[in-house]
Structure 1
Amino acid sequence: MTSGTTRQTAGREAEAYALRHLQQHGLQLITRNWSCKRGELDLVMLDGDTVVFVEVRYRRHAGWGGALESVDFRKQQKLTLAAQSFLQSEVRWADSPCRFDVVAINGDPGTSPALNWLTNAFDC
């Protein structure tokens, strides 16, 4: 198994961990890994009547910065463009209020890593 595959597996595990956490807190999954030319949305959830675009960031080690710090301004812009595309193509949700959340996971995905859920992480 190559390191790229290992990273992809760890990323999928982190995303599944985040999804379970959010569902335990009452959010409902609309879709996962939604992509378009402008980017990808890891999780699109529903919190009451609010569409929540969730960016899941995982870091095994904080040597290069933590997971939360990796959602910089450039990444926020890409997420905003992808969310706009989602709302334009999925008209059912077009008039719903929306927000951006970040789920930052630090540590080994096989051992209950630290999860930090930041609601309303940035403005669109």
Structure 2
Amino acid sequence: MAHDHDNELRTDFLHWECGINGSIIKVNSLDRRVIFDVKVPQIATPSGVTMVSDDSLLVADYNTLSLHLVSSGGRWLKQVWTAPSTRANIGDKLRGVSIESSLCVCVTECGYAYVFDAVY
């Protein structure tokens, strides 16, 4: 019975990810049900999203190799990072972003990884 109870506790565990057509979605992690879906027009193609705080998200732009701070309601706040053009290959795309401890990690399609202080 303890296992069932654990599942019940997890049913409202939500996280943010990129949906289709450039949208950012909030999903129920247990049954993959979409809770919230928003299109953020300032970001051409979101390719990775991670939660920064209760009301803000860090979103990677696939096309421009840049990161944007977005409110959890979908409002664009500001651009916070762009990949150094000297390192990024022509045609490279930003695949995803995550925050580990106090560091931000971005990985590109061509295999580059950028690590920098996540404090903006």
TM range, normalised to the smaller chain?
under 0.3
What's the TM-score, normalizing by structure 1? Answer: 0.27
When Rg is computed on C-alpha atoms for both structures, the one with the higher figure is 2
What's the TM-score, normalizing by structure 2? Answer: 0.27
